[in-house]
Structure 1
């Protein structure tokens, strides 16, 4: 009780009304006299009127409205294109982040080469900078199979098997890490019909003793692991696969794919990146085992062709050798025409010069 009284006594001086000062009383008296003579508006007594308050509120609303319109526009633009903001406020990364949304799968031959892109220098962190392949699918995701259907005497399931086996062949021959570093592509070889003895003999010789007449690069993508390493863990892929009825109670699968390999030297501290582009066209056949003597689950390789961009000419050691801008050229100087390795609009020319050509970009 005593503490309460003491606290109350302390609070009274702070809260008690204070008598106006002499100056305040003089000002108030003068205003009252002027008001009696009609010289002062009523506002000095009553404070701001309702009308005054509404006018001020309206002015504030107009100011906020004028400010709000550009703010809304800016927010809408940034929402659609956050890259307009300086820096990387959302952690979206650079142009490599665009690869998260690859192009739709290729279902027909394009009408022309991909459009040119900014000539950026590739790095280990951004190995596809400055390349149309930036928007291509990653690895095996780019090998999309068409919907299977029965063909002639072959069922839908048999056609599906031919498509899947072709896909496995492409993956093991061009994307498998072991194959890329020069190891034997066992899965791809095991898919081929064992009755194709001449083909298998040629491939086995090419893998063990490569030379001009036995080149594993005709079917497999390989790099010398003592010389090169993949820059990152992604190979870009684009192409299409179709099928039709063959002449011998069979289905023929046509595959046309381009693979883009970013590479760096294996030396410590090596950061320069070069890209090699390989286009492969295969015709694979699966015959009706009820009408022909074939090995169940195996496919016959009827045709294979390739077009290679940025690799040393006339070097037959079984490996691809990309040219780096800071290194001396290797192999025979190119003598063929200049071509765009990303142009998939036409077929690989059957009568093309056997010599190497010049690529317009990598």
Structure 2
């Protein structure tokens, strides 16, 4: 075995705002779609996260802020008292194991089905632009539905959904929250000119398209304080409906990062490339230049291995690194990486759905 802690400070403590991390290795938000009746986390979820509490920080799986924000069956929510109580079981067990965990607040926007929406209503979006692809319901996979454009006077209600969810995350015992403005979900749909065709003050210019993400962030900071709020961005990810990147990625995200600096957030979390697929970047886009504009701790994410993380940390391109799929089958990932132990690779069929098998039954390594 090798002691990789002599090669890098990834295994050393750090602070992200008011959140003190035991190391710089982060568990990325990984949707698992385990049985979650009425969006309520249960003892199985608590066990799963507590098993992975050696991560410096756990970013919990994307969590629906409201019934309207829901786009997939078997995903958790944080709008009801029962959901708050379920998440409290999770955070209590993670804290008992010495870990830190934040909630990722999620509204899917257009990537949903009428089968998942209250009263069978159409999903909402910045504009009535149809997404591509299928989503998962209790009856199996169905095509995503045509969305309707939000009226301008409805947008304060969207911000209120985030505000309520942020308060609920605090009541549930989380150490902070992450604003999910990535992966072509609602906030990202407002950012991109490929999905935002509005003519009011939430559409058109870069400043207008960034407005909702900034207003949501401001509302959450009012509740949590700036030092326990992070944000996730994915400037070039085409997921959730094959959403093309913005026509001016550097201009849009450069402006957004500059504006986010006013909040002095706990961290910024970038998907470097296309989520869970490739690190290839379109011509004219420089992810490192964008992340360098942020004044606080930066979490790099997407298809990292340990050697890449060590190299990019040594070049001061990242402050911490997020792993997703490796944490699925390696609950003790931090220690395995530290000693150079072999990593277990989970089969794709274990990613989503089911119960304990492929979820909480992964053993620790021999080292």
User: Per the shorter chain, which TM-score range?
Assistant: under 0.3
- Structure number with greater Rg is 1
* TM-score normalised per structure 2: 0.22
* TM-score normalised per structure 1: 0.22
